[in-house]
Amino acid sequence: MDPLADDSGHSTILRPITGADAIDIAVILVIAFGAVLLVERVIPAIAARLGPRTRIVVLPWVPVFRLFAFLLAALLIFPIVVEPRTESLIALVGASAVAIGFAFKDYLTSILAGVIVLFERPYRQGDWVRIGDVYGEVREMGMRALRIVTPDDDVVTVPHGQIWNSVVRNANDGSPTLQCVADFYVHPEHDAERLRRALGDAALASPWVDVEKPIAVVVAERPWGTCYRVRAYPIAAEDQFRFASDVTVRGKAMIAELGVRPATAPVTEPASG
């Protein structure tokens, strides 16, 4: 009689679990979870002391270790609960593939996208990205999803699968800083060259500006006025909103000092019935 057959004489693919087997499984799981928790605490602490550039390189490998630890634990537990015979393996793999394919299609799609993200690196931990209508800093990257903290301090979980059908806009792409833009709209009758220099000086005078990065003032004419776009870089990416606000306040003061009138958009009258 087959030692793996049940009471009715039918073969089973699962081995009988003894007390010693249960202890082995428990030890494997405890070690795996303990190693993951240790790495999730130790590596970010070490990376924080090594500086922002090293932090950007080291932190993305935390989810890779997490996946490796769980896969290793599964491989160690597998021969304990399953008899490694050809027919057993074929039956188990077939049943698992069908079940996983239907139940976890979207989950596996995001897992696959997470693996691709590790190589293509459209975003990293610490990057400021826009995915769909969500903009913020990537604070955590798992194998299935990433967590973005928005400027309003909301935590948004975005599956990696979004890269298949959404445009990913990365503001700094691994750099510690990013470009900020402050827009000004004024009446077309003014000295454009003088105002352009004044707005450039306003950005240069900000305490948050990175003076080693270029400052550009782009001018464009609109039917209702003139648009000035001041492009500059703050010292750190997290200062982008304070920097943009400071440049806006200083720019408005420059515009008022030069006596330039603000632009007035035409009012469209509602169509009469």
Report pLDDT digits (tens) over 207-251: 999 999 999 999 999 888 999 999 999 999 999 999 999 999 999
Give me the pLDDT at residue 106, please: 75
Token pair for residue 248? Answer: 């806006």
> Do the domain assignments include residue 266?
no
Rounded to 10 degrees, what is the CA torsion of 17, 18, 23, 28?
-30
pLDDT in tens, 159-215: 998 888 888 999 998 888 999 999 999 999 999 999 999 999 999 999 999 999 999
- Least confidently predicted of 49-63, 80-94, 135-149, 166-180: 80-94
The reply to whether 85 and 37 lie within a common domain is yes
> Do the domain assignments include residue 42?
yes
The reply to whether 164 and 189 lie within a common domain is no
Per-residue pLDDT band at 2 (split at 50, 70, 90): very low
The reply to whether 93 and 131 lie within a common domain is no
The total number of residues shown for the chain amounts to 273
Per-residue pLDDT band at 267 (split at 50, 70, 90): low
> Do the domain assignments include residue 83?
yes
Percentage of the chain beyond pLDDT 90 is 43
Q: Quote the number of domains for the chain.
A: 3
The reply to whether 187 and 157 lie within a common domain is no
What average pLDDT does this structure show over 60-67? 79
Q: What is the pTM assigned to this prediction?
A: 0.62
Which of 232, 177, 184 is CA-nearest to residue 206? 232
> Do the domain assignments include residue 95?
yes
Residues 39-53: b if buried by 16+ CB within 10 A, e if exposed: beeebeeebeeeeee
> Do the domain assignments include residue 116?
no
Give me the pLDDT at residue 127, please: 93
Q: Does pLDDT of 138 surpass 70? A: yes
Per-residue pLDDT band at 79 (split at 50, 70, 90): confident
Domain that holds residue 163: 123-170
Give me the pLDDT at residue 269, please: 56
> Do the domain assignments include residue 203?
yes
Q: Does pLDDT of 4 surpass 50? A: no
- For the purposes of burial, counting CB atoms within 10 Å of the CB of 152, is it exposed (0-12), middle (13-18) or buried (19 or more)? exposed
How far apart (Å, rounded) are the C-alpha atoms in residues 182 and 169?
19
The reply to whether 24 and 98 lie within a common domain is yes
Give me the pLDDT at residue 10, please: 47
The reply to whether 36 and 92 lie within a common domain is yes
Q: For the domain that residue 212 is a member of, what is the CATH number? A: 3.30.70.100
How far apart (Å, rounded) are the C-alpha atoms in residues 261 and 178?
31
The reply to whether 160 and 139 lie within a common domain is yes
The reply to whether 36 and 62 lie within a common domain is yes
> Do the domain assignments include residue 245?
yes
Q: For the domain that residue 145 is a member of, what is the CATH number? A: 2.30.30.60
The reply to whether 141 and 85 lie within a common domain is no
How far apart (Å, rounded) are the C-alpha atoms in residues 186 and 226?
5
> Do the domain assignments include residue 111?
no
What average pLDDT does this structure show over 80-105? 68
Domain boundary pick from 50, 69, 103:
103
Other CB atoms within a 10 A radius of the CB of residue 57 amount to 13
The reply to whether 94 and 163 lie within a common domain is no
What is the chain's mean pLDDT, rounded? 84
